[in-house]
């Protein structure tokens, strides 16, 4: 509902439109399951998430606009493992985000004003991809409940809708197996780092075998902002984010065979929890690498918190693809 005194500014006519939003989320992670025999090392990195936002009906006072948000990409950090020199890289296919069943999410778009230096904000909203819950903000199921938790369609696999239309539950992500991994923060004692499949038991983890396709469902909770630049079309600012949550319902092995139920459960159980760092936060005291020389190189600096970059790509009614969103020239995030 609109209210308050009307605001003016040189950017007012550009407030409605189609925007690309890039959010960088500072996260820490570690193997929280296997104790003294971790499958992957503790790490800290950024998750990058892209959205297309269509903002309309912004009130004269800058409040209560409608923001229709569509996910357009997710980039996860690599997981390094001293135990075998392996690197596990989960990849979301770019073509996933243009599939007809990938949903839009409704948020609120508002601005503190319509001039250069004012702040455009998109409120935090929760979104589900490849999974259904009784409510979008329902308690996230644990791995022990992956095959039994309830949703509107029933239980278990019925709660992982095939949103990428590949005849498999949930959405399919790939585990990278070729190429050269990016530099790690510390040296691998076994030699060069190399990509490996996702382990389906402790043995496959040691011998670089396992799953190369994983069927998952995930939930994100994100919002962003940007201080309007001189071009009236872009800005950078703080973002809101909560932990990146996922569940694995099934997988495919490196040789093309389906994972066993035990193998799927192992992948699900050992999928890393990415913990979001808010402004000023650091990883906890038990976030440590087993090797002292590697532990010393872990980043324990206070976080700047989630950050976002926003750029206007077109007027309402235009056609903007997810590829255009990912390829947009965003203002750099400091």
> What number is the average pLDDT over the span 64-77?
94
Task: Specify the number of domains making up the chain.
Answer: 1
Please check the confidence at residue 47 and state whether its pLDDT lies above 80: yes
Please check the confidence at residue 94 and state whether its pLDDT lies above 90: yes
Q: 333 in a domain, yes or no? A: no
> What number is the average pLDDT over the span 41-55?
96
Q: 331 in a domain, yes or no? A: no
Contact 208, 190 (CB under 8 A): no
Cα separation, 31 vs 36, whole angstroms: 10
Q: 295 in a domain, yes or no? A: yes
1 — pLDDT class (breaks 50, 70, 90) = low
Ordered DSSP codes for 180-219: -PPPPSS--TTSS-EE-PBPSSHHHHHTT-SEEEEEEEEE
Q: Whole-number mean pLDDT of the chain?
A: 93
At residue 78, the pLDDT reads: 97
Q: 79 in a domain, yes or no? A: yes
Q: 43 in a domain, yes or no? A: yes
Q: 2 in a domain, yes or no? A: no
Instruction: Tell me the β-bridge partners of 237.
Output: 308
- Any idea what DSSP says for residue 136? T
User: Which pLDDT tens digit goes with each residue over 117-175?
Assistant: 989 899 999 999 999 999 999 999 999 999 999 999 999 999 999 999 999 999 999 99
Q: 48 in a domain, yes or no? A: yes
In the chain, the percentage of residues whose pLDDT exceeds 90 is 81
Please check the confidence at residue 11 and state whether its pLDDT lies above 90: no
> What number is the average pLDDT over the span 247-266?
96
Contact 160, 131 (CB under 8 A): yes
> Which range marks the domain in which residue 148 is found?
12-326
Residue identified by tokens 């693809």 is: 321
The torsion region of residue 46 among left (phi > 0), alpha (psi -120 to 50) and beta comes to beta
Please check the confidence at residue 272 and state whether its pLDDT lies above 90: yes
pTM: 0.94
Ordered DSSP codes for 236-300: EEEEEE--BEEEEEEEEETTSPBPPHHHHHHHHHHSPPBEEP-TT----TT---SSHHHHTTS--
The torsion region of residue 71 among left (phi > 0), alpha (psi -120 to 50) and beta comes to beta
Q: 5 in a domain, yes or no? A: no
Please check the confidence at residue 202 and state whether its pLDDT lies above 90: no
User: Which pLDDT tens digit goes with each residue over 297-314?
Assistant: 999 999 999 999 999 999
At residue 36, the pLDDT reads: 81
Cα separation, 93 vs 89, whole angstroms: 12
Please check the confidence at residue 24 and state whether its pLDDT lies above 80: yes
């Amino acid at each position: 509902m609109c209210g308050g005194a009307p605001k003016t500014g040189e950017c007012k006519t550009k407030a409605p439109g189609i925007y690309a939003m890039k959010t960088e989320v500072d996260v820490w992670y570690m193997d929280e399951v296997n104790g003294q025999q971790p499958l992957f090392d503790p790490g800290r990195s950024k998750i990058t998430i892209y959205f297309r936002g269509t903002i309309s009906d912004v009130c004269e006072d800058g409040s209560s606009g409608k923001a229709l948000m569509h996910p357009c990409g997710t980039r996860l950090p690599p997981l390094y493992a001293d135990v075998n020199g392996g690197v596990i890289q989960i990849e979301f296919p770019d073509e996933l985000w243009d599939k007809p069943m990938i949903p839009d999410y409704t948020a609120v778009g508002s601005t503190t004003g319509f001039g250069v230096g004012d702040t455009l904000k998109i409120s935090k909203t929760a979104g589900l991809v490849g999974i259904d819950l009784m409510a979008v903000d329902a308690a996230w199921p644990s791995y022990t409940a992956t095959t039994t938790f309830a949703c509107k369609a029933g239980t278990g696999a019925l709660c992982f809708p095939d949103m990428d239309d590949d005849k498999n539950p949930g959405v399919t992500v790939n585990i990278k197996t070729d190429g050269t991994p990016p530099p790690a923060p510390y040296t691998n004692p076994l030699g060069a780092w190399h990509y490996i499949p996702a382990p389906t038991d402790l043995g496959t983890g040691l011998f670089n075998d396992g799953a190369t396709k994983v069927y998952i469902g995930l939930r994100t909770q994100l919002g962003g902002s940007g201080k309007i630049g001189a071009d009236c079309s872009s800005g950078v600012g703080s973002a809101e984010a909560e932990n990146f949550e996922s569940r694995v319902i099934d997988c495919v092995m490196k040789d093309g065979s389906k994972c066993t139920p035990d193998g799927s459960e192992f992948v699900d159980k050992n999928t890393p929890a990415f913990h979001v760092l808010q402004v000023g936060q650091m990883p906890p005291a038990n976030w440590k690498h087993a090797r002292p020389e590697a532990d010393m190189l872990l980043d324990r600096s206070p976080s700047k918190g989630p950050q976002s970059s926003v750029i206007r790509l077109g007027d309402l009614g235009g056609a903007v693809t997810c590829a255009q969103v990912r390829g947009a020239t965003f203002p750099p995030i400091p």
